[in-house]
Amino acid sequence: MSGKLKEKIGNGFCHLYLTILSIIAAFPLLWVLLSSVKSSRDLTSNPTSIFPKEFTLDHFRNVIETLGFTKNIANSLIIALCTTVIAIVISSLAAYGIVRFFPKFGNIMSRALVTTYMFPPILLAIPYTLVMAKMGLTNTRIGLVIVYLSFSVPYAVWMLIGFFKTVPIGIEEAARVDGANKMVIFVRIVLPLVAPGIVATAIYTFINAWNEFLYSLILINSTDLMTVSVALRSLQGAEILDWGSMMAASTLVVIPSVIFFMFIQKYIAGGMTEGSVK
């Protein structure tokens, strides 16, 4: 009897706690979205009213037409897509190779990949700046794609190891008995089995490249080539802070990330813990 009551109170407390956390977690997104459609007057004179008194798309118009934000979106899109494709191809091969052919070194390799996680980005930024300048790749999208591989490949390999480990070796052996060669086994049997994991990893890689800031700040200084993160930051530099436009631009940047993230959230956790510990 008292046990049941305790259980109920406990559950109620959990719901209350989770509700509060959800509100705190989601509030900034809500606020960015709402602020992007409020009039400038509304933004400054009614800071505590939640819903817009006058709904307007002026800020979006300003961001896209006057500030030319679409070209920054295109830059980020191209860079993030190229990074993702290259990183996923390289990492899938490596992760499969590690899981199937280097079982002994698998753990060492996993540890080595975790180690790369501790390199301070600011440490890498200095050599990257100098090397890219030497190779004439400063202010180019290619330069940024190359640099982005530094964080996307180790991460993708690490996550994919977890997914490839779930493929039972028996299936591959059966296929080999049937006369399939290695290439066929990999492409037609293994890949389809880990496809959800690869898609999740690809989306995560894409989001990380889309969201990246430091390297893009250091390696790109022409407005035409800026990624969304750096272009958005440069809006802050203006004399008068136009919060409406900044929130409209933020909306354009954050929405793809949030939507993609919702699709892959289940896979990420599994992949990370699988790849890291077992």
Partner 1 sequence: MKTKKIDYGRWLLVLPALIVVGMLLVYPIFSSLYYSLTSKHLIKATYDFVGLGNYQSVLTDPNFYKAFITSILWTVASLLGQIFVGFTAALALNRVKRLKGVYRILMIIPWAFPSIVIALSWKWILNGVSGFLPNVLYKSGLAAELPQFLSSSSLVFGTLIFINVWFGAPMIMVNVLSALQTIPQDQYEAAQIDGASKLQQFLYITVPHIKVVVGLLVVLRTIWVFNNFDIIYLITGGGPANATTTVPIYAYNMGWGTKLLGRSSAVTVLLLAFLLIVCFIYFKIIGKWEKEDK
Helix and strand counts by DSSP (H, E) for the chain: 13, 0
Return the range that interacts with partner 1 (CB under 8 A); candidates 52-60, 63-71, 172-180, 269-277: 269-277
Interface residue with partner 1, options 8, 9, 18, 74 (CB under 8 A) = 18
Which of 1, 2, 4, 24 is in the footprint of partner 1 by CB under 8 A?
24
Residue pair 204/256 in contact (Cβ under 8 Å)? The answer is no
> How far apart, in whole angstroms, are the C-alpha atoms of residue 63 and residue 259?
21
> Which residue type sits at 105?
F
Q: Which stretch binds partner 1 (CB under 8 A): 57-65, 66-74, 126-134, 166-174?
A: 126-134
Query: CB 39 → partner 1: shortest distance, Å?
Result: 13
In the chain, DSSP assigns E strands to none
- Confirm or reject binding of residue 94 to partner 1 (CB under 8 A): yes
Helix (H, G, I), strand (E, B) or coil at 38: strand
- Between 193 and 243, name the residue whose CB sits nearer to partner 1: 243
Task: Determine, following the binding rule CB under 8 A, whether residue 60 of this chain makes contact with partner 1.
Answer: no
Query: What does the alpha-carbon distance between residue 232 and residue 251 come to, in Å, rounded to a whole number?
Result: 11
Displacement of CA 159 from its chain's centroid (Å): 13
Q: Does 90 bind partner 1 (CB under 8 A)?
A: yes
| Cβ–Cβ < 8 Å for 154, 141 | no
Stretch 63-82 residues interacting with partner 1 (CB under 8 A): none
User: 3-class SS at 237?
Assistant: coil
Round to the nearest angstrom and report the end-to-end CA distance of the chain.
42
Q: Which of 8, 9, 11, 224 binds partner 1 (CB under 8 A)?
A: 11
Considering only 22-30, 64-72, 135-143, 165-173, which stretch makes contact with partner 1 by CB under 8 A?
Answer: 22-30
**Nearest CB to partner 1, comparing residues 29 and 180:** 29
- Tell me whether residue 167 or residue 207 sits nearer to partner 1 (CB atom): 207
243: closest CA among 47, 95, 36, 65?
Answer: 36
> Residue 100: CB partners within 8 Å, gap ≥ 6?
164, 169, 172
CA distances from 88 to 49, 91, 135, 149 (A): 45, 5, 25, 10
x/- letters, 129..148, toward partner 1 (CB under 8 A):
xxx--------------xx-
Site for partner 1 in 151-210 (CB under 8 A): 153-154, 157, 182, 207, 210
Taking the complex as a whole, the smallest distance from the CB of residue 196 to partner 1 amounts, in Å, to 15
- Out of 63, 98, 190, 194, which residue is the one contacting partner 1 (CB under 8 A)? 98
Q: Does 253 bind partner 1 (CB under 8 A)?
A: yes
Structure tokens at 75: 């830059």
194, 93 Cβ separation under 8 angstroms: no
Candidates 8, 17, 142, 184: give the one binding partner 1 (CB under 8 A). Answer: 17
- Exactly one of 136, 236, 239, 240 binds partner 1 (CB under 8 A); that residue is 236
Size of the site for partner 1 (CB under 8 A): 95
